[in-house]
Structure 1
Amino acid sequence: MAALFEGYTLCGLVPAQNLTSSGVHGIKSERDDDHVLVTDSTRSVTLYKVSDQKPLCSWTVKQGGSLTCPVVYNSNTKEYVAVSDNKVIRIWKEDDITLDKVFKATLSSDVWQVHSTHGAEPVVLFQRGAIRLLDSILAAPQQIVEDVLAQDEDLRWSTHLVADLQHCVIFTTEQKGDHFLYLQQLNPNSLQKYCLEREEPGLCPLSFSVALRDKHICLLYLYPNGRVYQSIIPLRGIGDDGSQTLTLPRSLLLSLSVGEGLLEAASALILDEAHVAVVGAPHPSAGAGKDFLCIWNIHFQTLQAGKEMAGKIYGQLWRFSNKLFIPHGKSLSVIRYECSKSCLAAAVGKMRQARIEECKGLSSVPSWSNILHGEKVQPSRTADGRKARTSRRIQSLPSLSIEQMMELIKTEPVKKVQQEVDAFISNTPDLQLVVGQLASALVSRSLSDLTFYTGGLLSQLVQSRTLCHSICPELLLLALEKKDYFLCQLCLQFFPDIPEAITCACLKAFISITDSDAEMVNLDPAGVSFMDMLITKDSTQVGSQNGSSYTSVKNDRLEIMDRDAAVPKVNMQIPLEEPCPVSLNKAVLLNEILQAPYSENYLLPHLKDLSSQHALVFLQYLQFLYLKYSQDAFPQRKELRSPTLNQVMDWVCMVLDAHFTVLVMTPEAKGLLFKLHTFVKSQVKLFSELGKIGSSLQEIKTMKAKKDIGQYSIEVLELY
């Protein structure tokens, strides 16, 4: 999955009067990806610190001059390199104020662009295709450079890569409607020329983007008809003299919807091996006349994220680290993005990260190869005993086909459906093939017929471990609507792909139920046993496991009280034994939320929808768990289903991130926030001491043993 986050304006723009140009000539990274150089199309370049959203320095050439290519940064010499009036190279440092007094060198030929990569020497690309290292051209500025391109051939785009310490300059040209790509390596020099396959007559590529993958160059280019092509070029295949022009093979990655007409200003940019950012192409589900920035997954041909951009799009897009820079309207915006690993499991939902002891108890799922090739599936040794007994009891009964079963579910009463579906499940060895159809049919009937609900059958399907949320997305919502919390618990346990929005919906429902309603629910015995032990156990010992104890918390409280005299108005007593703020069954359900898989970036926006009161209750319960886990007398038994301490602390951090402002303004939360602060301080102290111990052990390990040690000796090791 991919996500686009809230953007912010880096600077204002002065677009051209005809609105065809944004006024940005180019954006280059400086010392790191948080510092960028923005060159405008007139006479100035500005250094910005992106995270602070403010300019640090700005330089302008005098009236009548112009910067004819984007300014770059030479990381080796800590200098800036610019080209003015096509032929004049200017070099200066950050503390230089005016460009009139900096180093200048006039060259013999016009420059197309200067390219620079971090840690490598800048490269100069001339308009007729010649390439020189910056130092070599400055040693003799008036040296004659050769013409690589034909007389009627013009440069259109260029970039620079460093692979295995070798410079590789890539540029494209156009000649009478044909488009060519050149690859040139320096030291030693080698050149190869490729011809791009023709698209529809009169169509020229709107943008190019490259990436280096496993010693291969991946070239991505977008045409006005919305087609995005990819070409893979091995670096080893670069020829010696470029005398032979090869046809560049290509493959179609995306065919974007362009609506009526063709794209005029659009760009496609490689983000990683599976994701591409596209700006200027219409959103598939949005109306005409709206400009969007979208992220597409090229492996699954799916739109992952989209963001509408206000104002005109100019077809320009840059990427540095995990930030996209896009000019639109009269502003240059910075939009942070995130792309997770592309796999089928990620496409349908985040994979469950179960603990080792949980994985051991999972039943095996039939192999797809076995199913497709008709091989006999071995029965699972860990299958549910009740299911096995039921299977033996009714094995001789005739079973219906899946089509007959679907029709039966639509019309028959609840009792009849329960009997037939239970028999069908028991007599079906490859349940994975039909479980989705059965669950969808049962859920659809329950949604359309308020008198029909088969919670037991749905629970049995979930417990078969062959069902997931993506196959039947309405199942968990139905369980919440029917207040079938046992089914909700099973879904949270066995579904690896529950969306974060649904997880938060379950959290709201669990916190909202009354204690009396919660106590009437029959839940998983393993979770109930854990909470029963946690609440009723008489813990008489006071330990310091996990860095927290009554003594350490009390000392932390006194230290903070000494520094802040305004705090004593709040009751700051922090007893180690605090009552559980929720009932036992409600706590069991909340524990399932803590153990559910999630992605923090996707969960936080939905977590903000919790009311302040619900957030406060949830934090109080998390505090209760933390205190219990901090006792040496409390044993965490592997056979009981329980959240880990890391999961508890992660949820504390997320709830505080989502509701910190509201909690600070809530009087009832002040004491709780103070207690959580002491917990964090205790954890910091613990890890600090562990670090000291680790350093000491490392020092002992590196100490050289004396060779003349006798049979008896006493040694003193001084660590500090």
Structure 2
Amino acid sequence: MVFKHPVLIFITEKDGNYFAYVQTFNSCNLSKYTLLSGQKEKSVMQSFTASVDRKFISLKSLNSDGGIYETLIPTYPSDPDRNKMVVKSLLLKAVVSGNARNGVAVSILDQNHIAVLGTPLPASKECLSIWNIRFQTLQASKQLPQGTSGQLWYYAENLFMLHGKFLTVIPYKCEVSSLAGALGKLKHTQDPGAHTVPHFVNWDTSHGCGLGSQNSEQSRRILRTRKVEVSVQPEVLTSKQLLSAIKNDSEKHIEVELRKFLAIKRTSDFHTIIEDIVTGLLGRCKIEPSFYPRNCLMQVIQTCVLSYSLCPELVEVALEKADVQMLQLCLQQFPDIPESVTCACLKIFLSIGDDSLQETDINTESVCNYSDTVQDEKMEEQIIQNGFNPEEDNCNNCDKELNEKSQDTAEETTSCPVTPKRAALLNAILHSAYSEIFLLPHLKDIPAQHLMLFLQYLYFLYLKCSQNATMTLPGIHPPTLNQIMDWICLLLDANFTVVVMIPEAKRLLINLYKFVKSQISVYSELNKIEVSFRELQKLNQEKNNRELYSIEVLELF
């Protein structure tokens, strides 16, 4: 609840990418956020919980790598209709076993404490753990030998969970978060009149747990107290304080304070402040080689107020670190990236190994499902799509050997030559702006094997475009046919001598030639039809308008 209005938060997953949706019912706004992982390793989200205050939604998730991640989402976004990207940061590492698949859950107790349900070690039993996320210490732990169902709730200072066949209630009150309390050095005093509460509660006689009518007033007092605590706004640093923190504080502290700062309402000098923040972060990177705040830099890029001309060092650092996730984000957000930098990004995208890409969190929205083949079914009757027949030989001078292997060529084009993550990176290159005269010299330095891989991917996209009448690809912001054709021409113009000398490129060049020739034939016939319709339109205009009825038969051969 925010200002007594309900807020609904739900998460979806598609192709390994996670999206958070925030629905506010007072304004009926639905905001979408792409959850980017700040870690290189890709993990599956198994459980999540959220707490809401006046400015932020703190989304905490338990992933398959056993870590707890936090994402700060503004309660009232500046642009609700736009799909925004937010970065997940690691709060706690390896709180549960990475092999655990069932019985895991996470619940927020207060601003500094969370409860985690799961197995801490691969061979251990399920356990309920209370963690202090401020000091990253384990506060309490309880084994659950009868197992759980992976459901955990916290209400009125009581933890509720299913343990075996029973609903177990464990009272737990969070202490004030301090270093002494986190290290267990506080002296605990117990009231002589206090009594121990059983873990398995009898609902008929459970007055001692705050569930009966005798303690209803106390429960209301607890609820009022918790509401007051939730409504307290977190302290947000000013721009000067944030710049000072960037020079001295830890990377984790800078990341948290930067997220809070970016979530508040923007002022008139927001562009200047963001430029100063980037300058401060990159300046410290040069002084301290071990300091690389990639999460902070990605948050700043997503503000959409930067450009390459304002911070060229940012892309240089990403190129130096071979950070393909940040390079993809820069290509999507910066409208003025020079052609030399675009080509440098292309070389990294083509040369990076598949193993490294598998561990990197990359936005693959522009890549559709390429599992469908170019020829889905072998029809008895031959179908020509957009005037192109892959089995038809339009090149009279082709070698007989290549003609005999035409079916092998069709089979090679049925699957995408690159992985979806590499395809998403290459699509970012296709969408980038360029000037041909400045780009061509830099394309000549691409190695031959990488050049062939890019050409094969472009040819594959061309075949996918030819499958439907609209000549477009499915997906969100996919490459257009003009972009695909332009890049094929650019690569061939810059490296035609090299491509001709590569034996593997011979079949690809012949296929491109046949495809272009068939398209020229199609456009020629379409041009004839267009001229015929124009002549018919002129004849219609010359007819006598007094005619009331007429029948016309039009035959096109």
TM-score, normalized by length of structure 1? 0.42
- The amino acid that maps onto 2:357 is A
Matched, 1:654 2:490: yes
Offset at residue 520 of structure 1 (A): 1.5
The structure 2 residue matched to 1:473, chosen from 312, 319, 331, is 312
Q: Any conservation in 2 of the 1:539–1:634 contact (CA below 8 Å)?
A: no
Q: Any conservation in 1 of the 2:465–2:473 contact (CA below 8 Å)?
A: no
Determine the C-alpha separation between the residues in 2 that align with 1:383 and 1:394. 28
Determine the C-alpha separation between the residues in 2 that align with 1:379 and 1:518. 33
| 1:410 to 1:384, Cα distance in 2 relative to 1, 3 A | farther
Higher relative contact order (CA closer than 8 Å, sequence separation 6+): 2
User: Which residue does the alignment assign to 1:425?
Assistant: 262
Determine the C-alpha separation between the residues in 2 that align with 1:692 and 1:567. 36
Offset at residue 658 of structure 1 (A): 0.5
User: Which residue does the alignment assign to 1:380?
Assistant: 79
| 1:566 to 1:525, Cα distance in 2 relative to 1, 3 A | closer
String of CA shifts for 1:179-222, please: whole Å, max 9, x gaps. Answer: xxxxxxxxxxxxxxxxxxxxxxxxxxxxxxxxxxxxxxxxxxxx
Determine the C-alpha separation between the residues in 2 that align with 1:664 and 1:537. 28
Q: Any conservation in 2 of the 1:480–1:506 contact (CA below 8 Å)?
A: yes
Matched, 1:402 2:101: no
Greater share of helix? 2
Determine the C-alpha separation between the residues in 1 that align with 2:522 and 2:328. 35
The structure 2 residue matched to 1:680, chosen from 516, 519, 522, is 516
String of CA shifts for 1:274-308, please: whole Å, max 9, x gaps. Answer: xxxxxxxxxxxxxxxxxxxxxxxxxxxxxxxxxxx
User: Which residue does the alignment assign to 1:594?
Assistant: 430
Q: % of aligned pairs identical?
A: 39
Q: Any conservation in 1 of the 2:472–2:481 contact (CA below 8 Å)?
A: no
Alignment of 1:32-431 (within 5 A): 379-382=78-81, 396-427=233-264, 429-430=266-267, 431=270
Structure 2, unpaired ranges of 5+: 1-30, 34-76, 90-229
Determine the C-alpha separation between the residues in 2 that align with 1:394 and 1:435. 29
Offset at residue 712 of structure 1 (A): 5.1
Q: Any conservation in 1 of the 2:254–2:296 contact (CA below 8 Å)?
A: no
Greater share of strand? 1
Matched, 1:459 2:298: yes
Determine the C-alpha separation between the residues in 1 that align with 2:251 and 2:231. 20
Give aligned pairs, total: 336
Q: Any conservation in 2 of the 1:447–1:478 contact (CA below 8 Å)?
A: no
Offset at residue 440 of structure 1 (A): 2.3
- The amino acid that maps onto 2:507 is G
Structure 1, unpaired ranges of 5+: 1-360, 364-377
String of CA shifts for 1:652-685, please: whole Å, max 9, x gaps. Answer: 0000000001111111211111111112112212
The structure 2 residue matched to 1:438, chosen from 277, 297, 322, is 277
Offset at residue 608 of structure 1 (A): 0.8
- The amino acid that maps onto 1:422 is R
String of CA shifts for 1:490-549, please: whole Å, max 9, x gaps. Answer: 11111100110010011000110111211221111423xx34x1235796268655543x
Q: Any conservation in 2 of the 1:628–1:634 contact (CA below 8 Å)?
A: no
User: Which residue does the alignment assign to 1:714?
Assistant: 551
Matched, 1:516 2:355: yes
Determine the C-alpha separation between the residues in 2 that align with 1:674 and 1:521. 36
TM-score, normalized by length of structure 2? 0.54
Q: Any conservation in 2 of the 1:492–1:592 contact (CA below 8 Å)?
A: yes
| 1:634 to 1:516, Cα distance in 2 relative to 1, 3 A | farther
Structure 1 counterpart SS, 2:244: helix
Determine the C-alpha separation between the residues in 2 that align with 1:516 and 1:618. 19
Greater C-alpha radius of gyration: 1
Offset at residue 707 of structure 1 (A): 2.7
- The amino acid that maps onto 2:482 is N
User: Which residue does the alignment assign to 2:340?
Assistant: 501
Q: Any conservation in 2 of the 1:547–1:686 contact (CA below 8 Å)?
A: yes
| Two-structure CA RMSD over aligned residues (Å) | 3.6
Q: Any conservation in 2 of the 1:544–1:630 contact (CA below 8 Å)?
A: no
Offset at residue 571 of structure 1 (A): 4.4
| 1:662 to 1:494, Cα distance in 2 relative to 1, 3 A | same
Offset at residue 565 of structure 1 (A): 5.3
Deviating more after overlay: 433-442 vs 628-637: 628-637
| 1:394 to 1:478, Cα distance in 2 relative to 1, 3 A | farther
Structure 1 counterpart SS, 2:290: coil
String of CA shifts for 1:468-494, please: whole Å, max 9, x gaps. Answer: 111111212222332322211111111
Determine the C-alpha separation between the residues in 1 that align with 2:544 and 2:456. 59
Offset at residue 588 of structure 1 (A): 1.1
Determine the C-alpha separation between the residues in 1 that align with 2:364 and 2:281. 26
String of CA shifts for 1:61-100, please: whole Å, max 9, x gaps. Answer: xxxxxxxxxxxxxxxxxxxxxxxxxxxxxxxxxxxxxxxx
User: Which residue does the alignment assign to 1:302?
Assistant: none
User: Which residue does the alignment assign to 1:611?
Assistant: 447
Structure 1 counterpart SS, 2:371: helix
- The amino acid that maps onto 1:382 is D
Determine the C-alpha separation between the residues in 1 that align with 2:342 and 2:262. 28
| 1:716 to 1:570, Cα distance in 2 relative to 1, 3 A | closer
Determine the C-alpha separation between the residues in 2 that align with 1:613 and 1:565. 24
Q: Any conservation in 1 of the 2:282–2:313 contact (CA below 8 Å)?
A: yes
User: Which residue does the alignment assign to 2:480?
Assistant: 644
Offset at residue 403 of structure 1 (A): 3.2
Determine the C-alpha separation between the residues in 1 that align with 2:462 and 2:526. 20
User: Which residue does the alignment assign to 2:371?
Assistant: 535
Matched, 1:575 2:410: yes
| 1:648 to 1:547, Cα distance in 2 relative to 1, 3 A | farther
Structure 1 counterpart SS, 2:485: helix
The structure 2 residue matched to 1:669, chosen from 505, 516, 521, is 505
Offset at residue 382 of structure 1 (A): 3.0
| 1:568 to 1:385, Cα distance in 2 relative to 1, 3 A | closer
- The amino acid that maps onto 1:450 is P
Q: Any conservation in 2 of the 1:544–1:631 contact (CA below 8 Å)?
A: no
Offset at residue 646 of structure 1 (A): 1.0
| 1:498 to 1:448, Cα distance in 2 relative to 1, 3 A | same
String of CA shifts for 1:138-157, please: whole Å, max 9, x gaps. Answer: xxxxxxxxxxxxxxxxxxxx
Offset at residue 439 of structure 1 (A): 1.7
